[in-house]
Amino acid sequence: MPYKISGTKNATSRVILLDESDWSVESNTVISGTGSYEINDVVSGTKTIISRTESGEVVSYGNVLASFYELPGYGFWGWGYNHYGQLGQGDSGAETTRSSPVQIGDQVDSASGGSSYTMFVKEDGTLWACGANNSGELGLGDRTPRSSPVQVGSDTNWSQVTTGTNYTHAIKSDGTLWAWGENGLWRGQLGLGDHDNDRSSPTQVGDLTNWSKVKNGYRHSMAIKTDGTLWAWGDDGNSQLGLGTNDVSRSSPVQVGTDTDWADIGPGEYHTLALKTNGELWAWGQDGHGQCALDGGGVKSNPQQVGSDTNWSKIQGSNYFSVTMKSDGTIWTFGINRYGSCGDGTTTWRHSPVQVGSDTYKDVSVCGESCIAIRSNGTIWGWGYNAAGQLLQGDTENRSSPVLIDSGTDWKMVISSWGYTPRVFK
């Protein structure tokens, strides 16, 4: 959800990552003056004066006087696989794969893509779903697939939503956390205190009202509370929960350590990335393919810092690899690279972060073993796995370097997606 800033900034104020405005400054540049400016994504760091979380929470630091108000939501678009109706076009099946972007929804503030389904929150706080529904992952009280978006219940206070492979979590504006979908194979990924009991309707996780952010991995979930603490539940077979254990799943949220300065999380298939408020990057879980960038491979059962840089701004784990951004707009990747997923022009596995070209970007996310990114000029690019034609090059050849997907300059943000259906805001 974008926000605008209105107010007066003094001579010592700094703002990180401003876009979609008529005012452009480099990250950490000293600024002054008055005006209205739009912030498009989350950045945390010791020099951040104004930023917002993905849930829309505005966070301010330092000497600044500003007021904040919401902007209308974005158009929500997608392409690629539509076998189960996950593109919301009223059809489904292999023959309905889309080779150009189609609009899924309008005025959308938050969205996420499961392996074969889509969830999104509109600016009016309503929650919508389409696609596969084998485990009740659409939250509609049944297991019937939908090829067009259908509203989930009648509540109008949803603020963010995240999907795993076949399960969903969402947070309401009152800070409560809700879950539905697959809960099987003794993973307890819904966080509801049990295993093997799927839910087809939203069910509250505990009774707390201080959840700030939640992200789902393959079959494990990570969340941050408003006090900056980090929590985990679900599959822990590769220590992806960061609890110092292995092969012990947790069916209810458990705190990870005691730190209170966590800012963002990016769970992958069997590993997890996380950011702290000072811009540090941390990782844990399965590192056998270099997806944690912690050297030495194997399993890391507790959070460990990746390098010493303090300018990381965005993270996302995926299938044995990871994609990250720094506050200067550069993209860095690491892990398995069999399809060119690291975007460095090779298929060599990377056990430490490698930069994707020299261009700067404003957003990036993963789609299976592909990456979709938006450059600073608003054009959209992709690389990696292309068997579904999701890179829109008119073929199914993988790409190890970024290729242009769409030359339009109005693309805004990319959402994470389990599967081969890219979904983007514009």
pLDDT tens digits for 187-219?
899 999 998 899 999 999 999 999 989 999 999
Give me the CATH code for the 72-209 domain, please: 2.130.10.30
For residue 197, what are the contacts with CB-CB under 8 A and spacing of at least 6?
A: 183
Residue with more model confidence, 196 or 421: 421
> Which residues in 209-347 belong to E strands, given as ranges?
211-216, 220-225, 230-234, 250-255, 262-267, 271-276, 281-286, 299-305, 312-317, 321-326, 331-335
Average predicted confidence (pLDDT) for the chain: 84
For residue 22, what are the contacts with CB-CB under 8 A and spacing of at least 6?
A: none
| pLDDT computed for residue 51 by the predictor | 41
Mean of pLDDT values over 90-113: 94
Is residue 338 a contact partner of residue 347, using CB atoms and an 8 Å limit? yes
pLDDT over 90, % of the chain: 70
Q: Using CA of residue 150, residue 153, residue 156, residue 162, what is the dihedral sign?
A: negative
Residue with more model confidence, 110 or 36: 110
Banded model confidence at residue 419, pLDDT cuts 50, 70, 90: confident
pLDDT surpasses 70 at 97 = yes
Is residue 423 a contact partner of residue 77, using CB atoms and an 8 Å limit? yes
Q: Where are the domains of the chain?
A: 3-70, 72-209
What are 3-62's pLDDT values in tens digits?
333 333 333 333 333 333 322 332 333 333 333 333 333 333 322 334 433 333 333 333
Pick from 271, 261, 234: nearest CA to 366: 271
51-64 residues labelled b (16+ CB within 10 A) or e (exposed): bbbbbbbeeebeeb
In the chain, what is the straight-line distance between the N-terminal and C-terminal CA atoms, in Å? 12
What are 260-311's pLDDT values in tens digits?
999 899 999 999 999 998 889 999 999 999 999 998 789 999 999 999 999 9
| pLDDT computed for residue 42 by the predictor | 30
What is the Cα–Cα distance from 259 to 229, expressed in whole angstroms? 6
- Helix/strand/coil for 110: strand
73: its two tokens = 């939501």
| pLDDT computed for residue 72 by the predictor | 53
pLDDT surpasses 70 at 80 = yes
Pick from 270, 188, 183, 274: nearest CA to 224: 274
| pLDDT computed for residue 67 by the predictor | 33
pLDDT surpasses 60 at 406 = yes
- Cβ atoms within 10 Å, residue 148: 13
DSSP, residue by residue, 225-262? ETTS-EEEEE--TTSTT-SS-SS--EEEEEE-SS---E
**pTM, two decimal places:** 0.86
Contacts 24+ apart (CB under 8 A), 354-359: 355/330, 355/331, 356/330, 356/331, 356/332, 356/383, 356/402, 357/331, 357/401, 357/402, 358/330, 359/402
pLDDT surpasses 50 at 160 = yes
What is the Cα–Cα distance from 372 to 425, expressed in whole angstroms? 12
pLDDT surpasses 50 at 351 = yes
What is the Cα–Cα distance from 417 to 170, expressed in whole angstroms? 16
